[in-house]
C-alpha cells in the first residue's frame, strides 16, 4: 500500500494505491481498478476493502492495481505540508457535486493512460458520480465496467436517511455544528480519542479507523462533508434513466436490503422499469456503509464481479 497527497484540480487529494503507485509506469498494465468513495470521502475508510480486493484479484492471477481517490476537501494533508485545501467559503464550486466530478475527471485524465481500461467502483454517491462521468466520451471510452455499490442515484431526500438528514441533522448542524466541531477539536487529543473509541465500541466499528475518524472531525473537513451531502439532497432526485439505458453493458448494480439511503423499493422499481439491467440484491445483510464492518465480504463479492469482466 502506498499513499500521498497529490494535487488534483488544484486541491491536495489523498490517494491510496495497491499494486502500482499513480506515478509509476503503467506500460505493462492493461486494466486497473479505481474506487470512488461515498460521503464522507476519506480514503482511509476504504483501506481494508481495497486491500482485500487487490489480494482477492491477485489470488487468481489478476494482478490489477487498485486505487482509491477521496473527495476534494474531505481529507486535509498533514499540518507540515506546504499545500493547503482551499476554504469552503468562496470556493463552493470546488466542493459541490459538479466540483467533485471535475475532480475525478482530472484525476483519470492525469494518471490513467489511454491504453489502460478502468474497472470503476462507485460507492453510494460515488455511483451517481460515475453516471456523470459516463457523459464524458473521453472517460467513457476508457471504462471496462462500472460496479455501483449501494447506489444513491435517485430520490435521496425521499429516503428514510435523507429525511432525517434534511429535517433533523441539517437544522441541528446549522445551529450547533460549527461550535460542536470546534469545541471537540479544542479538547486534548487523548479525550478526543477516548470519545471516538466509545462511539466505535457502541457501534462495533474497528479501532483501526480511529485516525481517519479524527480527520473527519476537523471543522474544515466536516463542513465540506455536510456541504456535499446537502448538495446531494438537492440534486440527486430524478433517476437519470437515459444514461443508464445508454450504458447498460457497462453497469453492474449491487443493492442492499436494509439500506436507509436506498430503500428496497428503489431496486424493485428500477428492475421493473429496466428488466435487462444487471442488478444484484444483497443476501448477506451487508450495510450501506460496508467499509466499516463488511469490507472483506464485500471485497470478495466485487472481486468476483471484476473477474467476470477481466480480459
Residue with cell 472483506: 296
Q: Out of 76, 124, 159, 231, which one is annotated catalytic?
A: 124
Q: Taking a C-beta distance cutoff of 8 angstroms, is the pair 156, 261 a contact?
A: yes
What contacts 264, CB < 8 A, 6 or more positions away? 255, 257
Residue with cell 492471477: 61
295 is catalytic: no
Q: Out of 259, 282, 294, 295, which one is annotated catalytic?
A: 259
SS3 196: helix
119 is catalytic: no
Strands laid side by side in the 279-281 sheet: 2-8, 11-18, 66-69, 31-36, 117-123, 143-149, 251-255, 279-281
Q: What is the 3-state secondary structure (H, E, C) of 157-193?
A: CCCHHHHHHHHHHHHHHHHHHHHHHHHHHHCCHHHHH
Phi, psi of 7 (to 5 degrees): -80, 115
Segment holding 39, helix H or strand E: none
Per-residue burial over 30-62, b = 16 or more CB atoms within 10 Å of its CB, e = otherwise = ebbbbbbbbbbbbbbbbbbbbbbbbebbeeeeb
Q: What angle do CA 285, 42, 299 make, to 5 degrees?
A: 35
Q: Out of 71, 74, 288, 294, which one is annotated catalytic?
A: 288
300 is catalytic: no
Can you point out the beta strands (E) in 80-172? 117-123, 143-149
Catalytic residues, which ones? Answer: 124, 259, 288
Amino acid at each position: 500500500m502506498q499513499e500521498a497527497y497529490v494535487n488534483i484540480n488544484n486541491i491536495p487529494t489523498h490517494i491510496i494505491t495497491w499494486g502500482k503507485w499513480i506515478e509509476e509506469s503503467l506500460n505493462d498494465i492493461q486494466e486497473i481498478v479505481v474506487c470512488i468513495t461515498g460521503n464522507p470521502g476519506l480514503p482511509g475508510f476504504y483501506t481494508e476493502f481495497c486491500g482485500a480486493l487487490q489480494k482477492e484479484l491477485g489470488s487468481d492471477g489478476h494482478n490489477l492495481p487498485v486505487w482509491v481517490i477521496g473527495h476534494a476537501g474531505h481529507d486535509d494533508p498533514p499540518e507540515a505540508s506546504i499545500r493547503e485545501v482551499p476554504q469552503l467559503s468562496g470556493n463552493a464550486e470546488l466542493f459541490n457535486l459538479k466540483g467533485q466530478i471535475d475532480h475525478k475527471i482530472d484525476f483519470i485524465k492525469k494518471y490513467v493512460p489511454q491504453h489502460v481500461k478502468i474497472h470503476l467502483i462507485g460507492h453510494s454517491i460515488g455511483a451517481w458520480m460515475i453516471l456523470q462521468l459516463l457523459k464524458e466520451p473521453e472517460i467513457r471510452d476508457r471504462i471496462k465496467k462500472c460496479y455501483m455499490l449501494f447506489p444513491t442515484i435517485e430520490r435521496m431526500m425521499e429516503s428514510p436517511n435523507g429525511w432525517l438528514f434534511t429535517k433533523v441533522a441539517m437544522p441541528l448542524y446549522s445551529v450547533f455544528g460549527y461550535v460542536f466541531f470546534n469545541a471537540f477539536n479544542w479538547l486534548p487529543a487523548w479525550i478526543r480519542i477516548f470519545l471516538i473509541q466509545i462511539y466505535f465500541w457502541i457501534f462495533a466499528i474497528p479501532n483501526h479507523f480511529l485516525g481517519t475518524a479524527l480527520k473527519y472531525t476537523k471543522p474544515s473537513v466536516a463542513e465540506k462533508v455536510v456541504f456535499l451531502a446537502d448538495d446531494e439532497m438537492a440534486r440527486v432526485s430524478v433517476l437519470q434513466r437515459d444514461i443508464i439505458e445508454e450504458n447498460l453493458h457497462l453497469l453492474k448494480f449491487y443493492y442492499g436490503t436494509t439500506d436507509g439511503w436506498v430503500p428496497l423499493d428503489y431496486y424493485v422499481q428500477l428492475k421493473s422499469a429496466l428488466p435487462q439491467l444487471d442488478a444484484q440484491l444483497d443476501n448477506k445483510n451487508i450495510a450501506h456503509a460496508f467499509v466499516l464492518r463488511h469490507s472483506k465480504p464485500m471485497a470478495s463479492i466485487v472481486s468476483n464481479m471484476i473477474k467476470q469482466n477481466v480480459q
